[in-house]
Chain A
Amino acid sequence: MLTAIIAITALAIVFGLLLGYAAVRFRVESDPVVERVDAMLPQTQCGQCGFAGCRPYAEAIAAGEVEINRCPPGGENLMLALADLLGRDPVPLDPELGEPKPKMVARIDENTCIGCTLCLQACPVDAILGAAKQMHTILESECTGCELCLEPCPVDCIEMVPVEQTVNTWKWPYPIVVESKA
């Protein structure tokens, strides 16, 4: 009887130590949810979600503070992907935050621009080039289409234009098939 108790206790201690050691030694740093959510967001930094950029929104989502339907540029695909990742229920996009739009880029009317640098300060990705009293221009390849530069412009010389499709960005259309039931 006593030997059995001692043996079991000894085994328990040995395995307990082993497990304890393994837990420390082979600790797996879990993939932070914030990183994964942030990687899925479109990074337009537009603030339509009510946060100052994509990362703060990702942090709020990860903390479970907000709904996952507050990103119009990401659209429904993003919402579904987030629902999938976080195990939350899909919700329709919040209509108050604006409709999903085709991808746009800002364009400066160079005849009207007075070179005030206000848009430079507003651009979240440094996609506007210019200096005080010099004409500004937009680096189209860097522009995320966030529209944050429209508001501060005192002469309304910035407009949003849809991104032009080229041979390289063209996509095959989804086949339109009328299945006959016969």
Chain B
Amino acid sequence: MSRQLWRFHGGLHLPDHKELSSGEPVVEAIVPRQLILPIHQHIGVPAEPVVEPGQRVLKGQVVAKADGYVSAPVHASSSGTVVAIEPRPVPHPSGLSALCVVIETDGEDRWTERQPVADYKELDPSELRNVIRDAGIVGLGGAGFPAFIKLNPGARTAIDTLVLNGSECEPYITCDDRLMRDRPDEIIAGARIMRHALHARECVIGIEDNKPEAVAALREAIARMQATEIEVVVVPTHYPTGGEKQLIKVLTGKEVPSQGLPLDVGVVCHNVGTAAAVHRAVERGEPLISRVVTLTGGVGHPRNMEVRIGTPVEELLAQAGGTLEGVERLLVGGPMMGFDLRHRDAPIVKTANCLLAITGEMAASRGPVRPCIRCGACAEACPVSLLPQQLYWYSRAKDFDKVQDYNLFDCIECGCCAYVCPSNLPLVQYFRFAKTEIWAQEREKQAAELARRRHEFRTERIEREKAERAARLAQKKAMVAKSDSAEDKKKAAIKAAMERAKAKKSATEPKNTENLTEAQQRQIAEADARRAEKKAPVDSEASGGNEE
């Protein structure tokens, strides 16, 4: 049974250079002394550290938990002690640092308790997704979108096809190729689990025809595991067939709408590496703590290694014979879509599929940049049928409205346009510039909106408080006015009481004045005289003052 295949617009035939590393089976890399685990290795909200410096952690233990729905946890890739939670250089085109959990490994590599699922078929798809989410699995093809979300089609969508992406179209990269050749069983097992989670009608593994060994290995595994529901389809080698939307087009003929998702056409696409990770998470209880990385280009011994997430690049390169003389820079990813690695002490993250050492010789192939001659070669090469030339002019002029009118955000940054450009214009750089600039403007707009709301609220609050204070004052005044008559009565009562008291006081006579002895009489008289004497000078003084 041969399947009908389709073609996408444009694309390129590139020299693939895969022979450098495709003969090298996947070898496990040495566990490094220090693991640097960035908390943000996926698309979405950064994870939240749940460990403290000084704490002992076991291999597979969660060190940072997912924060929100679109997020993924990070696990310790080996056992050891957390020594720091601090910003460290991460593999990112900016070369900036980001928060990382740093673990000093103890060499024991001791697992935490694993809880494999005995039979995934008995699990509800949502429970299955939870297992996959908790294992921190993200798309291993390069984008790093949390995998469990892509396994959640929602109630309304029926999934027709689950596509597993084994195209690996970019030159030099061989990690998926080797994974398919060395561990086909894991991929098939993972594919079955994914298909169960999605209730997909069919499952297709798309592989470019430059990887016949991978095709054979997977077909053999399918036959051995009797997984007849899974089909391996060989597609022509044509860059960028490994792009999600391009592969879907080639395999199913369906076109994912602009700014839409494969889900919109009833298709879900995952990388073969992600499928293997899903199998390990579900059937072995192992979270995502390692991935296959291709080390190639200007290195002593190009090879494919299973690397613990968080392994510093420098240490890894040493295991591939180090970089050769004349290596100018290191790329994370392939030559078409990869980015410069600024710090060699940055770690391998979940999305890093390849480390490519670029020598001066390889870089020298591009000539000087000349003005655009409007030849239109870029538009012919564009696999998304965009007009790169128009995008270039508008990006260059920083006309961000216009550039969006020409669907900038459908650009997959594959680099075909820049590759064919006879003027050697760095087109993708312009598009990336425009994209990040538009995102920044969007963020600013949101910040302005927030500030406006808060300012309005504050103004309103101040007005309200003023009104309330005025109301309180008015109320008090009214109360005072009302109680004026009552006050008079009260005052009169007090006055009367005081007068009564005065009258009573003046009316009081000294008691026990009868039947006194002589001595007592004398004492009283003396006391009276003293009192009179005491009073007299005051009186005279007062009268004296008056006379003056």
Q: Which residues of A contact B (CB under 8 A)?
A: 38, 41-45, 53-54, 124-127, 142, 144, 165-175, 177-182
Given contacts A142-B450, A166-B96, A172-B433, contact A179 B455 (CB under 8 A): no
Chain B residues touching A, majority SS:
helix
- The answer to whether B450 touches A166, judged by C-beta atoms less than 8 angstroms apart, is no
CB < 8 Å neighbour of B458 from A54, A126, A172, A182: A126
Q: Which residues of B contact A (CB under 8 A)?
A: 40, 90, 92-94, 96, 98, 368-371, 425-426, 429-430, 432-433, 435-437, 439-440, 443-444, 447-452, 454-455, 457-459
Chain A residues whose C-beta falls within 8 Å of the C-beta of B98 in the assembled complex: 166-167
Chain A residues whose C-beta falls within 8 Å of the C-beta of B455 in the assembled complex: 43, 45, 53-54, 124-125
Kindly state the separation between the CA atoms of A172 and B436 in the bound complex, as whole angstroms. Answer: 6
Kindly state the separation between the CA atoms of A53 and B440 in the bound complex, as whole angstroms. Answer: 23
- The answer to whether B452 touches A54, judged by C-beta atoms less than 8 angstroms apart, is yes
**Shortest beta-carbon distance from A41 to chain B in Å:** 7
Given contacts A125-B458, A180-B369, A182-B368, contact A43 B436 (CB under 8 A): no
| Besides A53-B455, A126-B454, 7 other A-B contacts (C-beta < 8 A) | A41-B448, A42-B451, A45-B455, A125-B451, A126-B458, A144-B447, A175-B429
- The answer to whether B454 touches A125, judged by C-beta atoms less than 8 angstroms apart, is yes
Given contacts A126-B454, A167-B96, A175-B429, contact A42 B371 (CB under 8 A): no
CB < 8 Å neighbour of A178 from B369, B430, B439, B448: B369
Chain A residue nearest to B40 (CB atoms) is A167
Given contacts A43-B451, A126-B458, contact A180 B433 (CB under 8 A): no
- The answer to whether A171 touches B437, judged by C-beta atoms less than 8 angstroms apart, is yes
Chain A residues whose C-beta falls within 8 Å of the C-beta of B368 in the assembled complex: 178, 180, 182
Chain B residues whose C-beta falls within 8 Å of the C-beta of A167 in the assembled complex: 40, 90, 92, 94, 96, 98
Contact sample, A vs B, 18 pairs, CB 8 Å cutoff = A41-B448, A42-B451, A53-B455, A126-B454, A126-B458, A142-B450, A142-B451, A144-B447, A166-B98, A167-B92, A170-B93, A171-B437, A172-B433, A174-B433, A175-B426, A178-B368, A179-B369, A180-B369
Chain B residues whose C-beta falls within 8 Å of the C-beta of A165 in the assembled complex: 94, 96
Given contacts A54-B452, A171-B437, A172-B432, contact A177 B458 (CB under 8 A): no
Given contacts A42-B444, A42-B448, contact A172 B369 (CB under 8 A): no
- The answer to whether A177 touches B40, judged by C-beta atoms less than 8 angstroms apart, is no
4 nearest A-B residue pairs (beta carbon): A170-B94, A43-B448, A171-B436, A43-B451
Chain A residues touching B, majority SS:
loop
- The answer to whether A177 touches B448, judged by C-beta atoms less than 8 angstroms apart, is no
Q: Which of B93, B435, B449, B452 has the most CB of A within 10 A?
A: B452
Chain B residues whose C-beta falls within 8 Å of the C-beta of A54 in the assembled complex: 452, 455
Given contacts A142-B450, A142-B451, A180-B370, contact A173 B458 (CB under 8 A): no
- The answer to whether A171 touches B440, judged by C-beta atoms less than 8 angstroms apart, is yes
Chain B residues whose C-beta falls within 8 Å of the C-beta of A172 in the assembled complex: 93, 429, 432-433, 435-437
Chain B residue nearest to A164 (CB atoms) is B96
**Shortest beta-carbon distance from A144 to chain B in Å:** 5
Kindly state the separation between the CA atoms of A124 and B448 in the bound complex, as whole angstroms. Answer: 13
Kindly state the separation between the CA atoms of A170 and B98 in the bound complex, as whole angstroms. Answer: 12
Chain A residues whose C-beta falls within 8 Å of the C-beta of B459 in the assembled complex: 53
**Shortest beta-carbon distance from A142 to chain B in Å:** 6
Chain B residue nearest to A165 (CB atoms) is B96
- The answer to whether B452 touches A43, judged by C-beta atoms less than 8 angstroms apart, is yes
Chain A residue nearest to B459 (CB atoms) is A53
Kindly state the separation between the CA atoms of A179 and B370 in the bound complex, as whole angstroms. Answer: 5
Chain A residues whose C-beta falls within 8 Å of the C-beta of B430 in the assembled complex: 175
- The answer to whether B454 touches A127, judged by C-beta atoms less than 8 angstroms apart, is yes
Chain B residue nearest to A121 (CB atoms) is B462
Kindly state the separation between the CA atoms of A121 and B286 in the bound complex, as whole angstroms. Answer: 54
Kindly state the separation between the CA atoms of A142 and B446 in the bound complex, as whole angstroms. Answer: 11
**Shortest beta-carbon distance from A74 to chain B in Å:** 10
- The answer to whether A177 touches B425, judged by C-beta atoms less than 8 angstroms apart, is yes
**Shortest beta-carbon distance from A23 to chain B in Å:** 33
**Shortest beta-carbon distance from B374 to chain A in Å:** 14
- The answer to whether A44 touches B451, judged by C-beta atoms less than 8 angstroms apart, is yes
**Shortest beta-carbon distance from A37 to chain B in Å:** 12
Chain B residues whose C-beta falls within 8 Å of the C-beta of A127 in the assembled complex: 454
**Shortest beta-carbon distance from A104 to chain B in Å:** 13
Kindly state the separation between the CA atoms of A40 and B449 in the bound complex, as whole angstroms. Answer: 10
Given contacts A177-B369, A178-B369, contact A169 B451 (CB under 8 A): no
- The answer to whether A169 touches B443, judged by C-beta atoms less than 8 angstroms apart, is yes
Kindly state the separation between the CA atoms of A44 and B436 in the bound complex, as whole angstroms. Answer: 23
Chain A residue nearest to B400 (CB atoms) is A77
Kindly state the separation between the CA atoms of A72 and B33 in the bound complex, as whole angstroms. Answer: 51
- The answer to whether A182 touches B370, judged by C-beta atoms less than 8 angstroms apart, is yes
Kindly state the separation between the CA atoms of A177 and B433 in the bound complex, as whole angstroms. Answer: 13
Chain B residues whose C-beta falls within 8 Å of the C-beta of A38 in the assembled complex: 452
Q: Which of B40, B96, B440, B451 has the most CB of A within 10 A?
A: B451
Kindly state the separation between the CA atoms of A79 and B374 in the bound complex, as whole angstroms. Answer: 32
Chain A residues whose C-beta falls within 8 Å of the C-beta of B440 in the assembled complex: 169, 171
Kindly state the separation between the CA atoms of A71 and B371 in the bound complex, as whole angstroms. Answer: 36
Chain B residues whose C-beta falls within 8 Å of the C-beta of A179 in the assembled complex: 369-371
